[in-house]
Structure 1
Amino acid sequence: MIDKVTAIQTVMRKLKALPPGHAIDLRTYKRNRSVVIARTGEDRFEVREKGFYEERYTVALAGMKKLLKTLLKREFPRSTKIRLYNLGPADPDAPLARKKL
């Protein structure tokens, strides 16, 4: 669990070290909304939003900070803590596992 106040800095640090083909998952405390970020190339990320909206974005690392700020405000409006999971090697097109993380 990470604080929402420092979430963007923590996620950006994790994304810089994330190998291609791996993904991370941001979830609310109740685990009912999520943002999955998968590294698809050297400087490309695919972001899947699942919650109030269901959207897909393809963005470079330079635009990730602005997108994260928007998504955290929209998907986690009243959260103070955010769950951060390292999914390891993950296919961005595969559905998320319904297991309790």
Structure 2
Amino acid sequence: MIDKSSSIPAILERLQNLPVGHYLDVRTYKRNRFVLLVKKGEDDFLIIENGYFQERFENIPMKKIKKLFKTLLKKEFPRSTKIRVYNMGEYDEQTAENIERKVL
């Protein structure tokens, strides 16, 4: 778990070191809402938002990730102070969004 205030630089650093085809799972403290950040290419990302809103953002370059992720944090995690970040490995469309985590 990391503080929401310091999460953007930490997540951007993890995204740069992430191998192509892998993804990060960012969840609230209660694990009931999430944002998936999938690295499709060297400078090509897929972002899946699932919480208050359900949206997919495709073909997002690295330089636009910071601004988009900042707005997603405000929308999906408005009252959270801590967020959970999981490095999930290889991305598979079927199983990635259906992973069950314990909800508090």
TM-score normalised by the shorter chain: which range applies?
over 0.9
Provide Cα deviations, 1:8-58, integer angstroms capped at 9, x if missing partner: 000000000011000000000110000000101111010000000000002
* Unaligned segments of structure 1, at least 5 residues: none
Q: Which amino acid aligns with 2:86?
A: Y
Task: Give identity over the alignment, percent.
Answer: 49
Partners of 1:68 and 1:9 lie apart in 2 by 11
Instruction: Give 1:71's aligned residue.
Output: 72
Partners of 1:25 and 1:56 lie apart in 2 by 14
Give the superposition deviation at 1:96. 2.8
Secondary structure of the equivalent of 1:40? strand
Partners of 1:13 and 1:100 lie apart in 2 by 27
Ranges of 4+ aligned residues in structure 1 off by more than 3 Å: none
State how many pairs are aligned.
Answer: 100
Q: Which structure has greater helix proportion?
A: 2
Instruction: Give 1:31's aligned residue.
Output: 31
Partners of 1:39 and 1:4 lie apart in 2 by 22
Report the aligned-residue RMSD: 1.3
* TM-score where L is the length of structure 1: 0.94
* TM-score where L is the length of structure 2: 0.91
